Amino acid sequence: MNLRAPTELNFSAVNMAAEWARFSRDWKYYAAAKELAEKPVLVQVGTFLNYAGIGAQEVASHFQWQDSDGLPPLLEKFEAYCNPRRNVVLERYNFHARVQQPGESITTFLAALRSLVVTCEFPDPDNMIRDRLVIGVADRATQRALLRQADLTLTAAVDIALSEEASRRDQQCMGSAGSATGDVLNPSEVSAISQPSPAPAVSRCRFCARVHVMQRSSCPAWGQSCHACGGRNHFSACCGRPAGARPLSPRGQDGGFSGVTTRSGGASTGQRRNDSRLPPRSVAPPVPVAGDRGLRSATRAGGGRRDRDGVAAIEQADQDAEQVQVGGPALWH
């Protein structure tokens, strides 16, 4: 059976008591595995001194001890030599000063605490190791997780610390893999995803008199005809033409301003409809703006005779209405 041999006893160690505790523990397990208790006394002594090292052999030569005395008395001599004057205060100081080093695992940190606590003579070593683990752990997230437990035992503390360490290691591996494939979102992308898009503007519509999103697809008047003027894309409630006014009709159809002549040239509005220099009047404006005042001042009840100023006002109203109709869709988003 191939067994690991105990490491030599280091007499240059700062804490000789802890060094002896380490070596004696290793030797006990090795001797049990090799069944040295059943071997002759000289074999036991020779094997011990061989693994303890040259320094231990030199120290043993000054003991009041003979080879024939056996191995147990020799172990007692080394115990007394390595612990001549134990300073408990110093041992406890070393224990409380121990913190987890950068890059040190939880398992290694716990092993160091268990080794230091041996010489501290604490009445409850497990609770002291638990407290030192909570105080000395390097990761603050692990420390917060430990402090959240009211009835924390050493076993529970070790489980939490190991779990947090494994979770942190997995997150680092996932982050490295994501960075290599380009799948990890940067903070600006995460912020853009988490923030909702701004709501569209809502206001009262000038074409239907209702409150809705200012988009033509949201307006019920879009594509409808006005019952007052015959124009499109607005309701009669929003029509700017006065009651009783003739509706605007497409050029070339009946219902235009035919038969109205001017005093200056006698030209009728019917002739005007065939004049290609004037803009078409095929669609009435959603809400006439500039031409309303001229139209109201030029239109008389009963459709009576119009003077030259009235005809000019009507023509100006038509042109204004056509400009509003052409520019009307630009008001939509």
DSSP string, 123-185: S-HHHHHHHHHHHH-S-HHHHHHHHT-TT--HHHHHHHHHHHHHHHHHHHHHHHHHHHHT-SP
pLDDT band at 240 (very low <50, low <70, confident <90, very high): confident
pLDDT higher than threshold 50 for residue 77: yes
pLDDT band at 293 (very low <50, low <70, confident <90, very high): very low
Weakest-pLDDT range from 112-116, 134-138, 238-242, 297-301:
297-301
pLDDT tens, residue by residue, 183-213: 444 556 545 545 566 667 778 888 888 888 8
pLDDT higher than threshold 60 for residue 286: no
CA angle 63–69–70, rounded 5-degree value: 105
Q: Please state which CATH number belongs to domain 88-182.
A: 1.10.1200.30
pLDDT, greater one: 278 or 138? 138
pLDDT, greater one: 126 or 231? 126
Task: Give the Cα separation of 225 and 235 in Å (integer).
Answer: 7
Q: What is the pTM of this model?
A: 0.39
pLDDT higher than threshold 50 for residue 250: no
Token duo for residue 1: 């059976």
Question: Which residues make beta-bridge pairs with 225?
Answer: 232
Mean pLDDT (whole number) for 123-127? 93
Task: Give the Cα separation of 324 and 321 in Å (integer).
Answer: 5
Most confident of 192-201, 212-221, 288-297, 304-313: 212-221
The torsion of the CA quartet 145, 148, 149, 154, rounded to 10 degrees, works out to 40
pLDDT, greater one: 30 or 178? 30
**C-alpha pair distances (Å), 145 with each of 89, 138, 140, 159, 261:** 31, 13, 9, 11, 95
pLDDT tens, residue by residue, 143-177: 999 999 889 999 999 999 999 999 988 888 876 65
Mean pLDDT (whole number) for 236-240? 80
pLDDT higher than threshold 50 for residue 236: yes
pLDDT band at 307 (very low <50, low <70, confident <90, very high): very low
Mean pLDDT (whole number) for 302-318? 46
CA atoms within 13 A on the CB side of 265: 7
CA angle 43–45–51, rounded 5-degree value: 100
Q: Report whether 120 contacts 92 (CB < 8 A).
A: yes
CA angle 325–313–239, rounded 5-degree value: 40
Please tell me the predicted confidence (pLDDT) of residue 243. Answer: 56
pLDDT tens, residue by residue, 2-54: 778 888 988 888 778 888 888 988 999 988 998 888 889 888 889 999 999 99
Average pLDDT, the chain: 73
Mean pLDDT (whole number) for 291-296? 44
